[in-house]
Amino acid sequence: MKVLALNGSPRKNGNTEALLGAVLKGVEAAGGEVELVRLYDLRLQPCIACGGCDNTGECVLEDEMDGLYSKIIASQRIILASPIYFYGLTAQAKAFVDRCQALWNRKRLQKEKGEWRKDPGRKGFLVAVAATHGERVFEGAILTARYAFDAMGLGYGGEFVVKGMDGCGEMARDVATLVRAEEAGRKFME
Ligand SMILES: Cc1cc2nc3c(=O)[nH]c(=O)nc-3n(C[C@H](O)[C@H](O)[C@H](O)COP(=O)(O)O)c2cc1C
């Protein structure tokens, strides 16, 4: 089963990378064929609300999102990972999400023509880390991820989120949590 993992953290060897790595270990153990993309490494322009996708479901901007659209369509599972920045996703992850407006329009157009067929087997999963212990610290990211997965035609498969992680490398040292994350990755493949 094809699994697309999108890391929205700009920090290499950071907490998101460590947590996502553990989830992906579980995914691979369950037979997932993982393709990991670091969004920071791609040239992704933000959506400019030009309306270019309104009647076509195709984005008119030309950059490395082109390749991601086909990977999204071909994947049965998508994992979006991000640290929390100001109660939401990072700019890199949000730019990716906003560019999914083309897929939202594609789905709307297919629905209008009676051609939309939801595949209940396709699911999305959120991985996130935050420095604080705020009760509502993941709420914004979860809402954004749920709606983004819906635009991509995926059901919401849940999330694995960890609070109180700040310094680079902290997550990698929390072995007990990484073991639980690996198990969550395995479960996500069921
Ligand atoms: C610009 C910026 C904004 C942040 N905003 C929040 C926040 O709103 N809440 C929070 O708990 N942590 C916040 N953090 C902390 C990060 O979520 C935390 O350091 C995380 O572990 C970083 O993950 P990484 O190693 O993958 O970059 C912020 C960090 C940065 C750089």
Task: Read off φ and ψ for residue 158, nearest 5 degrees.
Answer: 105, -170
**132 and 164 in contact (C-beta within 8 Å)?**
yes
**What separation in Å is there between the alpha carbon of 140 and the centre of ligand 1?**
14
Model confidence pLDDT, tens digit, residues 79-97: 999 999 999 999 999 999 9
Per-residue pLDDT band for 63 (boundaries 50, 70, 90) equals very high
162 lines ligand 1 (CB under 6 A): no
pLDDT tens digit sequence for 126-148? 999 999 999 999 999 999 999 99
* pLDDT the model gives residue 122: 97
What's the DSSP call for residue 47? P
Task: Render 64-77 in DSSP notation, one character per residue.
Answer: THHHHHHHHHH-SE
Mean pLDDT for all residues in the chain? 97
Determine the distance separating the centroid of ligand 1 and the alpha carbon of 90, expressed in angstroms: 9
What pLDDT score does 67 carry?
Answer: 96
The pLDDT value recorded for residue 62 is 97
- What's the CATH code of the domain at 70? 3.40.50.360
The total of structural domains in the chain comes to 1
Q: Say how far residue 171 (Cα) sits from the centre of its chain.
A: 19
User: DSSP H helical segments within 75-190, as ranges?
Assistant: 91-99, 101-112, 139-151, 170-173, 175-188
- Tell me the CA–centroid distance for residue 130 and ligand 1, in Å: 5
Q: How far apart are CA 22 and CA 18, in angstroms?
A: 6
Structural domain range at position 152: 2-188
**1-46 pLDDT tens trace:** 999 999 999 999 999 999 999 999 999 999 999 999 999 999 999 9
User: How far is residue 57 CA from its own chain's centroid?
Assistant: 20
